[in-house]
Chains A and B, each alone.
Chain A
Amino acid sequence: MTSNPLRDPRDRRLPRIPDPCALVVFGATGDLARKKLIPAVYDLGNRGLLPPGFVLMGFARRDWGDGDFEQLARAAAKDHSRTEFRDDVWRRIADSVRFVPGSFDDDNAFDQLDATLVDLEKSHGIAGNAAFYLSIPPAAFPQVLKQLDRTRMADSAQRGGWRRVVVEKPFGHDLASSRELNTLVDSVFTPDDVFRIDHYLGKETVQNLLALRFANTLFEPVWNSNYVDSVQITMAEDVGIEGRAAFYDSAGAARDVLQNHLLQLLALTAMEEPVSFDSQSLRVEKHKVLWAISIPEDKAAFTVRGQYEQGWLAGERVRGYLDEEGIPPDSRTESYAAVRLGVETRRWAGIPFYLRTGKRLPRRVTEIAVVFKRAPHLPFAKTDTAELGHNQLVVRVQPDEGITLRFGSKVPGTAMEVREVSMDFLYGASFTESSPEAYERLLLDVLIGDRTLFPDHLEVEASWQVIDPLEAFWTTTTPEHYRAGEWGPRAADEMLAREGRTWRRP
């Protein structure tokens, strides 16, 4: 690979393009495939990032031919693609769309899938490379994996190319089940060929967090317990459970969001500098942080669960959680979770990390706020600085991607008066349109084989080690209530007030 004479590290214009390969989507007619995966494939094709030999293959329980799936894929790409839909781009992709009908317990269907993959060598010059995307409910994982194992489709050595598998969250529902799942996946594929998608890690702003911390000299010196007072990580959603009732009610906010997205954001915020930017070094540092997370002794005081009641959100009346379709009226599942974690390292000892996530909060926002300590001595009269709070550095993950720095500034006038102001770095209103969707980036990374942005099984297990004791404690409690359209239950405010802090309004 390195011997390609046309590639030159100085040549920054040439994009990375995967080898000829096939992308096999299980659950190809599902929501994720239609709204994210297929549009991402189209966008990659439109940007010229797909290899000359590329095949999109669908597998689902429909009595369909290639043409039917092509119709669905075309509609999906047209409705949801980020870049402009162009017929001639789609035509090239359409020529390489295949569909294999069948259910997951149907041996014949998998044999046919295998045969179709083998045929691609002749028809598309694809020498055995294939990525399997499991866009299916976790309960179906074992069946599909066993089929892949039986047909030896997962065996890269035998197939003469690479074989990779992409798994979506949830990675189990607790430590034991995630270990079981990991063992199963790793026994069928080699661990290096397993890609666990946490789409948050594909977002530009999250990657920019690493650039911010490790490419600059300005922030790293104050990025520790000497200067930082606390860290608040928020992921708020204004939507409810959106037709995912069965899954959501069995999981809850902590398993759905806290375990993966929020802990990953915490890891990137708190980790030490990796020795290099390759996936191995990055993982080593993320493991260290995740293992160093401590959970509160007094869980009643420093964890809060909430469930939304009916209320008004953005000018519309919305139902309460218990009235949502498919939710049992006596459900004790939380739609909001807040927790105070610690990171037991020299850098972070004693600094609280407040994590919160919830549904039906006033607006959709994800951000990391690093709150700094107040100056130990202020040479101003007390009244002069009455409006001066804590300096803050806020990484806005979405929306309005960018960074805000809050600091005190003199109010113009004859009196000395200091008030907080914000300095904003915005990626720019339209900039986000041209920066790739998370799925686009991650899909490309899978096909290229770059594992930097994918958590491995140790990270997943370390995350469950944080969540499991909380879940165990919560089985005996009922969630607090909050009105839809407010920033979570009052108990969450009290949790911070107990330590003299308040939540930042994102």
Chain B
Amino acid sequence: MTTTLWDTNGGDIMKALSAERRAGGAVASGLAVTFVTVVDEKNIGDAERAATIAAQAHPCRLLMVIRRQIDTTDRLDAEVQVGGRLGPIEAVVMRMYGRLTLHSESVVLPLLAPDAPVVTWWHSPPPDRIATDALGVLAERRVTDCALAPDPMAALLGRAEDFAPGDTDLAWTRATPWRSLLASAFDASEATARSARVSAEEGNPTAALLAGWLAARLGVPAEVVTSSGPGITDVEIVLAGSDEEQTLRISRPDGRSATFSRSGQPDRELPLLRRDLGDLLAEELRRLEVDEVYGEALSQATGVGGLGERSPRRTHVWRDPALAEAAARTD
């Protein structure tokens, strides 16, 4: 089920993959997507678990790229699995060393499943410019996670400046259960909103996106205030009632269950769990078209305009850390 290759090359990985597929019989036919994961060595356990959960819903070829230190001899180690511990998928885990880390697409490109869409996911701080990572340029859908950045709010701003349709961020995916509850609250209501407020722990990009979405959709001011967390703790919308002010409020102080309250109606309790990484990824893989609603929320949250008009295609920008270092030295 698993073939491990030390100090290998792309051609041998291809051979090992097709040998595994043949040995595995009819396992994992009907590949819908190639899922490229860029991950740091310390996060690999997380990423594997998450990818396994996501793969149960979406048969895919998982290409996991781990970039190790650059200042060493070029080397490629790989592990090829079909239907093994990673679930019903084909997986290639690749560790790259030396200058090869800058050319990882040369290994990945031939391994992409023919004509299937490519999703690239960075389980690491998001790149400041996706165009500098060839693994992002070749993907139709690019998934980052601002929450992993040292400064998530700065990362979110960076995502907006660098945005191209087809980008999405797990900070946005985390907002879906909240958005779903809020939308259903409005299904049963004729009222219009006057203002909105999201409370969350400091520097929470999901809260910023949620507020951005509310502002964009409702056309009212939406602010984010700091609370002690965890995550988002409270969303309050003031409704324009006939005479007196009405509020609609969902609060979740413990990160597990929420209280839904609305003026004039009894409070209701509902589950509102923080989802794990695998569920978030499964949601990302479910729909591969451009998420315009995310673009609007991101634009509103960061004040960067014109996101929807940008080209969905990026051109690879070569950036060599060695040259950058050299330049820094001569300065």
Contact = CB atoms under 8 A, between A and B. Distances in A.
Interface of A: 1, 3-8, 10-15, 17, 19-20, 45-46, 48, 50-53, 86, 88-89, 91-92, 95, 122-125, 127, 402, 424-431, 433-434
Contacts of A48: 177, 180-181, 271-272
B271 A46 contact: yes
Given A125-B262, A425-B29, A92 B88 contact: no
Size bracket of the B interface: 35 or more
B57 interface: yes
Interface in B55-71: 55-59
B186 interface: yes
A8 B192 CA distance: 16
Contacts of A17: 180, 183-184, 187
Contacts of B271: 45-46, 48, 86, 88-89, 92
Contacts, number: 123
B19 interface: no
B183 A7 contact: yes
A297 B85 CA distance: 57
B293 interface: yes
A14 B56 contact: no
A53 B268 CA distance: 7
A428 B218 contact: no
Interface string B177-200: 101111111111010110000000
B251 to A, nearest CB: 13
Nearest to B290: A10
Interface centre among B88, B180, B270 (most CB of A within 10 A): B270
B275 to A, nearest CB: 10
B183 A4 contact: yes
Interface centre among B55, B88, B271 (most CB of A within 10 A): B271
Nearest to B55: A430
A125 B179 CA distance: 20
Nearest to B27: A429
Given A48-B177, A424-B26, A434 B257 contact: no
B187 A4 contact: yes
Interface in B65-79: none
Contact of B176 (A3, A14, A426): A14
Contacts of B186: 4-7
Interface string B75-111: 0000000000001100000000000000000000000
Contact of A1 (B88, B187, B193, B292): B187
Interface string B240-283: 00000000000000001100101001101111110000000011
A12 B289 contact: yes
Contact of B29 (A86, A123, A424): A424
B217 interface: yes
Contacts of B291: 12-13
A27 B215 CA distance: 47
Contact of B59 (A3, A15, A86, A431): A431
Contact of A95 (B87, B217, B269): B269
Interface in B17-35: 26-30
Nearest to A427: B30
Interface centre among B30, B176, B257 (most CB of A within 10 A): B30
Nearest to B89: A428
Given A1-B187, A88-B271, A89-B271, 11 more contacts: A5-B192, A5-B219, A7-B187, A52-B268, A92-B271, A125-B262, A424-B26, A424-B29, A426-B29, A429-B27, A429-B88
Contacts of B87: 430
B53 to A, nearest CB: 9
A48 B36 CA distance: 29
